[in-house]
Amino acid sequence: MLLRRIGTGDNNDKGASGNAGNAATPSSNSAPTVREQEQKSVSRFDRTVVEQVSKQDKITYELKGKVQERLVAELERRKISPTEERQVRTITDDIFQEVLLETQGVTLSRAEKSLLLDVILAEILGYGPLEILLRDETVTEVMINGPKSVYVERKGKLVKSEVKFKDDQHLMRIIERIVSPIGRRVDESSPMVDARLPDGSRVNIIIPPLSLIGPVVTIRKFSKKPLTIEDLVRYGSLTTRIADFLRAAVLARMNIVVSGGTGSGKTTLLNVLSGFIPDDERIVTVENAAELQLRQDHVITLESKAANIEGKGEVTIRDLVINCLRMRPDRIVVGECRSGETLDMLQAMNTGHDGSLTTLHANSPKDALSRTETMCLMAGMDLPVRAIREQVASAVNMIVQQERLKDGSRKITSIAEVDGMEGDIIKLQEIFRFEQTGVDENGKIIGQLKPTGVQPRCVEKFEQHNIFLPPDTFGSASQLRAF
């Protein structure tokens, strides 16, 4: 912030062009006028400022990083809670001086030093006691149940944290700092708000009178490094065989729905599946809060928008899905289908945008089908159920069920193929199913995703794409389907 203020390049630009506008326009072949020479020197001056600013920026960034690192270690060593604002301030000040002394080649005036210290403190104390949890990379979720009870999730396990807020007012001040930069407000008239931290973490806030235990804040931290397919295999969420199968399904342009409960790992799996999309395809992603982190270059990220305080300016997922069809996508990835957008998504899948991916909230592949149906009805098109089912049956090729098991692990528990209609019913054929074989001494569930023995229809599609999976992928005695 300090340095942004030094960045006066913009103003100089404006000043220069404003002056030029008043002068007679020089013809291109005449000698440079004084004005032009002035302009040149201004832009040279700009460049020097920019160079200085970026050098300063780098120094500030490095200093800040060092101070923060040492501070976290120091607070931990001295068992000081981050809520102790005064102590944190003093320690930060000491560390800052120490780091300044050690860092060579930095000469800051007294005013600059004090401003820089403020910037660092604001960052550290910005969200008060929350900062430490937000900074702790092993914490994936933070749950504040009133000022005195804070839980975090570490490695899939819920644990109570030492962090506490002084009282409701203290917590409300922090909430204020979260929501005000994004133009939202939390008070009695709007006691329920979704927000996002600058780093992308998602925040839900609900306060009294709706919550009876004081302000409640739930933060799903944005993981800087998304889990990869290798991570998921290592965590036992799936096997390499299944990973190969899913990669084949994406390459062969199957329309895939990832189904599961809240926090079961749907978005993570969607991200991994999207990662299998070849680099030469144009991908448009549509999300409520941008969470997907695709490694490909050609990705367009769209995010819906809530209405403002006057209730205006809302852009829904549905609006974005409809719009993205006009953007010549090769693949459409919708973060989550929750409502009427499902119908548009299915229509897209049915009209040449195959290979699209999405997630939805359901407890089994069968449940996912009926949820899809219900959500299509929410589009308010007055379509008969049979017509909707036909849409679903021809659009969705595969449903991957993701679950968070009792031991906290997240696994794929079923993969089913949609196999057309039989009368009025959509046929679903399970290809892989998780089989639990036991529980180890630490309470960890032991088991594996096993083929059901059915040879899926999609194999044909795989072969059209020149993808051949090992013959025993679907079980040694996989029964051939009668076509």
Ligand X SMILES: Nc1ncnc2c1ncn2[C@@H]1O[C@H](COP(=O)(O)OP(=O)(O)O)[C@@H](O)[C@H]1O
Edge-first strand order for the sheet with 192-196 is 157-160, 150-154, 139-145, 216-220, 202-206, 192-196
410 binds, among ligand X, Mg ion, none (CB under 5 to 8 A by kind): ligand X
DSSP codes, 409-426: -EEEEEEEEEEEEETTEE
Distance of closest approach, residue 428 Cβ to ligand X, in angstroms: 21
Does the footprint of Mg ion cover residue 267 (CB under 5 A)?
yes
**Which of 264, 285, 372, 401: binder of ligand X (CB under 6 A)?**
264
Largest pairwise CA distance in the chain: 88
Please give the residues from 207 up to 236 whose contact with ligand X meets the rule CB under 6 A. 223, 227, 232, 235
Neighbours of 147 (CB within 10 A): 20
Q: Is 158 exposed, middle or buried (0-12, 13-18, 19+ CB in 10 A)?
A: exposed
Q: Which is nearer to Mg ion, 252 or 332 (CB)?
A: 332
d(Cα 308, Cα 244) in Å, to the nearest integer? 45
Distance of closest approach, residue 153 Cβ to ligand X, in angstroms: 7
Q: Which two tokens stand for residue 131?
A: 């900062």
Q: Which is nearer to Mg ion, 60 or 267 (CB)?
A: 267
Distance of closest approach, residue 103 Cβ to Mg ion, in angstroms: 42
316 binds, among ligand X, Mg ion, none (CB under 5 to 8 A by kind): none
- Interaction pattern, residues 392-411, with ligand X; x per rule: CB under 6 A: ------------------x-
| Alpha-carbon separation of residue 299 from 82, 200, 331 (angstroms) | 40, 18, 10
Neighbours of 374 (CB within 10 A): 12
Nearest position to Mg ion, beta carbon: 267
Q: Which residue has the tokens 């060593």?
A: 77
Cβ neighbours of residue 13 under 8 Å, at least 6 residues apart? 42, 46
Q: Which of 287, 297, 245 is nearest to 266 (CA)?
A: 287
Distance of closest approach, residue 336 Cβ to Mg ion, in angstroms: 6
268 binds, among ligand X, Mg ion, none (CB under 5 to 8 A by kind): ligand X
d(Cα 476, Cα 478) in Å, to the nearest integer? 6
Distance of closest approach, residue 202 Cβ to ligand X, in angstroms: 9
Does the footprint of ligand X cover residue 253 (CB under 6 A)?
no
Does the footprint of Mg ion cover residue 201 (CB under 5 A)?
no
Size of the site for Mg ion (CB under 5 A): 1
Q: Taking contact as CB under 5 A, which single stretch among the options 49-57, 96-104, 264-272, 397-405 is the one that binds Mg ion? A: 264-272
- Interaction pattern, residues 267-296, with ligand X; x per rule: CB under 6 A: xx----------------------------
CA triple 70-73-74, angle to 5 deg? 80
Please give the residues from 83 up to 142 whose contact with ligand X meets the rule CB under 6 A. 140
Binding site for ligand X (CB under 6 A): 140, 156, 223, 227, 232, 235, 237, 260, 262-268, 410
Binding site for Mg ion (CB under 5 A): 267
